[in-house]
Amino acid sequence: MIRVVLPAHLRALARAGGEVELQVDGPVTQRSILDALEARYPMLRGTIRDHVTQQRRPFLRFFACEEDLSHEPPDAPLPDAVASGAEPFFIIGAIAGG
């Protein structure tokens, strides 16, 4: 199972507890994780990536295995540790605003 850590506001919106566990079929990529996440929690559509362009929202970042993967192509394979569930995929809100 893939493990995903959401920002607190999105956990509240999705009424999810701590980490979210997802079944992802096929290659584990940013796109396949977000597709599975939005299929399970439709209310998250549009909050992480744009409805139409599918671009990551500017004030969100994707991290895994202590690396910033935000600028990696959405279809690039994620580290094996994410695919195996050893490490979570983090969706993080930028430190900005007031």
Partner 1 sequence: MNGVRVLVGTRKGAFVLTSDGKREQWAVSGPHFGGWEIYHLKGSPVDPNRLYASQSSGWFGQLIQRSNDGGKTWEPVGNKFVYDGVPGAHQWYDGTTHPWEFKRVWHLEPSPADPDTVYAGVEDAALFRSTDGGQTWQELSGLRGHGSGPKWQPGAGGMCLHTILLDPSDSGRIFIAISAAGAFRTDDAGQTWRPINRGLKSEYIPDPNAEVGHCVHRIAMHRSRPGVLFMQKHWDVMRSDDAGESWHEVSGNLPTDFGFPIDVHAHEPDTIYVVPIKSDSEHYPPEGSLRVYRSRTGGHEWEALTKGLPQRDCYVNVLRDAMAVDSLDPCGVYFGTTGGQVYVSADAGDRWTPIVRDLPAVLSVEVQTLP
Q: Which residues bind partner 1 (CB under 8 A)?
A: 7, 9-10, 13, 43, 45-48, 51-52, 57, 59-60, 93-94, 96-97
* Distant-in-sequence, close-in-space partners of 54: CB < 8 Å, separation ≥ 6: 31, 74
Nearest approach in angstroms of CB 43 to partner 1 is 4
CB 65 within 8 A of CB 79: yes
By C-beta, is 60 or 65 nearer to partner 1? 60
The distance of closest approach from Cβ of residue 83 to partner 1 in the complex, given in angstroms and rounded to an integer, is 26
Q: How far is the CB of 3 from partner 1 (least distance, A)?
A: 21
Reduce the secondary structure of 60-78 to three states and give it as a string: EEEEECCEECCCCCCCCEC
Token output for 24:
């992802």
